[in-house]
Amino acid sequence: MKKRYVVYPVGVDDVEKEKYANGGLDPEVVLAKRIAERLSGATVTNDIKPHKHEILIGNTRRAETREALARLAYNQYGIFCFGDRIAVVGHCVAATMRAAEKFLAMDSLELTDGCSLVETVEEWIVDFPRFAAGKYLGMSDCSHDRVEWVWGRVGLSALEDYLACLLQNGYESIFQNLRDGNRAYRFVKGSHFLSLLYLRATHTLRVVSGSLEKTSVVEPWALDDSLNAPVTLTQMALDYFGGSFGMCYILTLEDGSFVIIDGGQVRVAGGQPKTYDYLRLYTLLCELNKRPDGEIVVSAWLMTHEHADHFNVFYWFCRFCHDFGKKVTVKRYCDCSCSDAVSFNAKNPDYPTTRGRLAKAREWIGGFDTVTLHTGDRFSFGELDFEILYTVDNLFPQRLHYFNDSSFVARMTYRGQTTMWLGDICTAPSQFLRTHWSKKTLKSEIVQLAHHGLNGAEEELYCLMEGKVLLWSLRDQLVKNNIENPVEDHHRLARKLYYEMGAEEILLHTRHNDTLPLPYVVGKSERVKR
């Protein structure tokens, strides 16, 4: 019996790790192991040493892999038989995963020399003018059926030529944002959009392609007739004693509508909630509501990332409104979530979008637009302005190792005062921010501490931001324990944040809700405890 080898590309992560999805192994390795199990007696190895009988998974260094990829469009994947070698491949990890699943579902005896099986991912839009300069670094799938391409060594003249090419091919330029030498653009043709991001520090161009039928993009968002209500920021307390945690922030706008950031945890047992912060949120919105018609209108619900301690309150809030007939309008749900391929081997991933929970929440609340955020996006509600400084799309070709790093980062400005929303970012996004944005852009009077002030952003980033008011979404006793007994590095950072970094005020998630008028001046503005 011939000895068969299942081969993955050298350089992928093949070291097992505890507490990571799929053992921390990259998809190509996991798929190779599954195929080897199916073909009893097969050996799993990387592509350093060639063997006679090989099944090649992903972008190996074999000539057969290169030939197979040359026969595939960017939205295709396939299985190709070249004598003693079989290539199972697509142009990105997600496509290779589909090819491997197809291979596992078929009878390998069907494969004879020269045969091939090719299938197409119809949801991926790849038919647009390709950037022809620079060094091509690869392709990745993104959430909401978007696809990203990345090029390095990109000069400004080549970028300008590409922008002109898109216009010549019928694309309309609908948005641009220039900051710190970085450039963000959006082009639309029919229902197809392209989001472009040029990063000056690394001379990198990122192009994201998507369908407006799958996800909306940022566009001018007008407020209703203004009530001239005061703009406020409320930090909602969570039921830490019941086992909840996370973060929930509510911005009350000039027209009485709200922007909500995240939501918090809901403990669930037997399919039913055991903590009730979604009811706390509904009650608080009723209390904050300034609209004369009494309706609760959420102009945008911003979900930094999909961990349960950020997403669950949103999900159960929508169900509560449906089950008890509460009239709440949610206009937009804004995120930049992960595809399954991107979060495949991340630490502690979660999957509300790809497992249907986002769709269920949309059904319960009566519908909303899903808006996918891209770095460089800007959107405003009256004088309240948001600018996106980081999304998970910016990591590729580096892979997502820690699901917290799928958080987006937003810079919010109101009447000259800046607030930085960091979600749960950790080291990689923190380094991205320091690399690509100036100190002037990062400096913020109000800072939401990353990952609840625990093992989040770097000390160097906090030094650049120089926050005077720290929004610390953690219970006071937990903060006290951390700063008084700093046994780990992130405890020591918490201690520095608390004692040494010049903060004038720290807001913890205690037993009451804190409402701050914006702009907020420590010692002068009245902070309301509810």
pLDDT of residue 108: 62
Q: Domain 135-211 belongs to what topology?
A: Double Stranded RNA Binding Domain (3.30.160)
Among all chains, which residue has been given the structure tokens 């929508």? 318
Among residues 75, 58, 49, the alpha carbon closest in space to that of 9 is found at: 58
Domain boundaries, the chain: 5-120, 135-211, 232-529
- pTM score, whole prediction: 0.96
pLDDT of residue 220: 83
**Are 483 and 499 within 8 A, CB to CB?**
yes
**Residue 200 burial class via C-beta count within 10 angstroms: exposed 0-12, middle 13-18, buried 19 and up:** middle
pLDDT of residue 492: 76
User: Which CATH entry fits the domain spanning 5-120: 1.10.3720.10, 3.90.470.20, 3.30.379.10, 3.20.20.70?
Assistant: 3.30.379.10
Element (DSSP H or E) covering residue 442:
helix 439-442
pLDDT of residue 112: 81
**Residue 197 burial class via C-beta count within 10 angstroms: exposed 0-12, middle 13-18, buried 19 and up:** buried
pLDDT digits (tens, 9 = 90+) for 77-116: 999 999 999 999 999 999 999 999 999 998 766 678 889 9
Using 70 as the pLDDT threshold, list the residues of the chain that sit under it: 1, 108-110, 490
pLDDT of residue 149: 98
Rounded to an integer, what distance in angstroms lies between the CA atom of residue 522 and that of residue 525?
Answer: 6
**Rg for the chain (alpha carbons), in Å?**
25
Q: Domain 232-529 belongs to what topology?
A: Metallo-beta-lactamase; Chain A (3.60.15)
What does the DSSP assignment read for 197-254? Answer: EEETTTTEEEEEEEETTT-B-------SS---PPPEEEE----GGGT--S-EEEEEPT
pLDDT of residue 1: 53
pLDDT digits (tens, 9 = 90+) for 483-520: 777 777 767 777 777 777 888 998 887 778 999 999 99
Rounded to an integer, what distance in angstroms lies between the CA atom of residue 148 and that of residue 196?
Answer: 10
**Amino acid of residue 392:** V
Rounded to an integer, what distance in angstroms lies between the CA atom of residue 345 and that of residue 359?
Answer: 24
pLDDT of residue 508: 84
**Are 411 and 436 within 8 A, CB to CB?**
no
